[in-house]
């Protein structure tokens, strides 16, 4: 599939499991949408080999060729998702989680009943078009990482306690317990009930809001893949400042018209300067007062119990590599350490294992040097796990390898109060 010197391409296929009829196909090349489609004969072969294995009670989950990784996954014996990727460094873990998020997106916008009881394939194809924008954002080069980590992307706002108090007061005034403040798909603050949302909706809802075109207000029907996959709820969004939105998850009430400007002004006008500071955080995720060592080019901090994360490559912006390359390096390193160095406890699924303290014999730290060991060349990646937190750093070439463990330890100590 891939050609030397060109960006790799990813194809995502969705088929009806019983008939093999394609429901949709989405593609991306180098993080951008691509028009290239797979021939029907290839789609049929990929589905056929998977069905052949099932008939022999063999579960085919993944395969590798010289330049392509393929992953299959069936959901509820009704829908089969297949992803093929020739992107350099693509891991099976990344593709498996992509398929989980894609099916979650389908449930979020269409509902589980439509996907498990397919009575009219053509009608389902039309309904699934509503998912394309969200699914395409998973295939692109996003500044978010929740689709891979399955943790909610967050930012650390200035005056966080004041924001939290105001948010809870606004939630009570608006008549719903599920309210959050989001900045470009990252959660700035949320009510306790919002944080109790399960996976994957806790990740999907902010991601979906970030993928939609800007609007002053929205009233969007959504299903909750974990909490309410067959009964829709309403997702209301209200733009406070460009890129900064209030999100409310509710039932039939309140109507959008009830959330009038007077209610918004009452609660949020006094915090206008604080909101502007949140707006300016952008992809940095960390407030200006938080200092990180100058050698750190990017970081990913995970709280595995709370399922929250801080992800930024907007550090030392004047240094190489580029922001896109930094994101790619940290994503690949996360996949490596999660699948290899910090595996889940034997006998547990990863989701369940991450809710339980790991056994003491697992590694606590690892590092990777890319390029040569000569000073000033390559990049350094280092990870440290101190339950329930895991920190990954991308470090500039000038940083000595023997100092990586001390650097990541001190950085984790500095960031621990934030998450």
- Alpha-carbon separation of residue 207 from 77, 100, 183, 212 (angstroms): 27, 14, 11, 9
3-class DSSP assignment, residue 101: helix
Q: Give the C-alpha distances (Å, rounded to integers) separating 240 from 42, 161, 197, 203, 271.
A: 48, 19, 23, 21, 11
pLDDT tens-digit series, residues 92-142: 999 999 999 999 999 999 999 999 999 899 999 999 999 999 999 999 888
> Residue range 185-195: average pLDDT?
96
Second CATH level (architecture) for the domain 9-141: 2-Layer Sandwich (3.30)
pLDDT of residue 23: 95
Angle at the Cα of 263 from the Cα atoms of 260 and 267, rounded to 5 degrees: 145
Beta bridge partners of 70: 63, 84
What is the mean pLDDT of the segment spanning 389-412? Answer: 93
Is the Cβ–Cβ distance between 393 and 315 less than 8 Å?
A: no
Tokens of 54: 């099932």
Q: Domain residue spans in the chain?
A: 9-141, 152-284, 296-418
pLDDT tens digits, one per residue of 281-340: 877 888 877 889 999 999 999 999 999 999 999 887 778 888 889 999 999 999 999 998
Instruction: Answer whether 9-141 and 152-284 agree in fold.
Output: yes
pLDDT at 348: 41
Average pLDDT over residues 225-242: 94
Give me the pLDDT at residue 3, please: 42
Q: Identify the band that residue 375 occupies on the pLDDT scale cut at 50, 70 and 90.
A: low
Q: In what order do the strands lie in the sheet with 308-312?
A: 152-153, 308-312, 296-303, 389-395, 379-386, 365-370
Q: Stretch 230-235: mean pLDDT, rounded? A: 95
Taking the CA atoms of 320, 323, 327 and 330 in sequence, report the sign of the dihedral they define. positive
Question: Length of the chain in residues, anyone?
Answer: 419
Q: So what's the architecture of 296-418 in CATH?
A: 2-Layer Sandwich (3.30)
Cα 219 from Cα 252, distance rounded (Å): 11
Structure-token pair, residue 303: 């709280």
Taking CA 266 as the corner, what is the angle to CA 221 and CA 237, rounded to the nearest 5 degrees?
Answer: 15
Q: For residues 299 and 45, what is the distance between their CA atoms, to the nearest angstrom?
A: 41
Q: Are 326 and 313 a contacting pair, CB within 8 Å?
A: yes
Question: Measured at the alpha carbon of residue 184, what is the angle toward residues 177 and 201, in degrees to the nearest 5?
Answer: 45
Phi, psi of 215 (to 5 degrees): -150, 150
What are the phi and psi torsion angles at 295 (to 5°)?
-75, -15
362 has a pLDDT exceeding 50 = yes
Q: What are phi and psi of 219, to 5 degrees?
A: -135, 100
Whole-prediction pTM: 0.91
Instruction: Please state, for a pLDDT cut of 90, what percent of the chain lies above it.
Output: 64
CATH assignment of 152-284, given 1.20.1290.10, 3.30.450.30, 3.40.50.150, 1.10.10.1100? 3.30.450.30
């Amino acid at each position: 599939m891939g050609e030397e010197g060109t960006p790799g391409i990813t194809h995502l296929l969705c088929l009806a499991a019983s008939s093999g009829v394609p429901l949709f196909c989405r593609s991306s090349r180098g993080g951008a949408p691509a028009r290239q489609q797979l021939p029907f004969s290839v789609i049929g072969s990929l589905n056929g080999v998977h069905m052949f294995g099932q008939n022999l009670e063999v579960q085919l989950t993944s395969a590798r060729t010289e330049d392509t990784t393929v992953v299959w996954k069936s959901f509820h014996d009704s829908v089969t998702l297949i992803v093929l990727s020739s992107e350099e460094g693509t891991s099976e873990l990344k593709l498996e989680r992509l398929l989980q998020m894609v099916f979650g997106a389908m449930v979020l916008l269409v509902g589980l009943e439509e996907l498990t009881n397919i009575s009219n394939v053509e009608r389902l194809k039309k309904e699934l078009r509503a998912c394309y924008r969200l699914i395409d954002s998973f295939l692109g080069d996003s500044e978010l990482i929740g689709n891979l980590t399955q943790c909610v992307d967050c930012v650390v706002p200035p005056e966080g306690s004041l924001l939290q108090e105001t948010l809870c007061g606004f939630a009570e005034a608006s008549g719903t317990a599920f309210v959050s403040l989001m900045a470009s798909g990252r959660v700035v603050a949320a009510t306790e009930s919002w944080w109790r949302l399960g996976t994957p909706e806790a990740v999907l809802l902010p991601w979906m809001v970030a993928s939609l075109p800007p609007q002053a207000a929205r009233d969007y029907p959504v299903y909750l893949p974990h909490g309410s996959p067959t009964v829709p709820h309403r997702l209301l969004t209200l733009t406070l400042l460009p890129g900064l939105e209030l999100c409310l998850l509710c039932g039939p009430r309140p109507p959008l018209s009830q959330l009038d400007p007077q209610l918004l002004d009452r609660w949020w006008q006094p915090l206008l300067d604080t909101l502007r500071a949140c707006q300016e955080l952008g992809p940095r995720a960390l407030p200006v007062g938080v200092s990180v060592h100058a050698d750190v080019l990017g970081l990913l901090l995970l709280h595995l119990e709370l399922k929250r994360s801080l992800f930024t490559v907007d550090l030392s912006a004047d240094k190489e590599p580029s922001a896109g390359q930094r994101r790619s390096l940290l994503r690949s390193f996360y996949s490596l350490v999660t699948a290899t160095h910090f595996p889940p406890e034997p006998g547990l699924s990863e989701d369940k294992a991450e809710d339980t303290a790991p056994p003491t014999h697992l590694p606590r730290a690892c590092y990777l040097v890319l390029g040569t060991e000569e000073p000033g060349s390559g990049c350094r990646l280092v990870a440290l796990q101190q339950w329930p937190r895991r920190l990954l750093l991308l470090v500039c070439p000038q940083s000595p390898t023997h100092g990586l463990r001390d650097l990541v330890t001190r950085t984790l100590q500095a960031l621990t109060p934030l998450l």
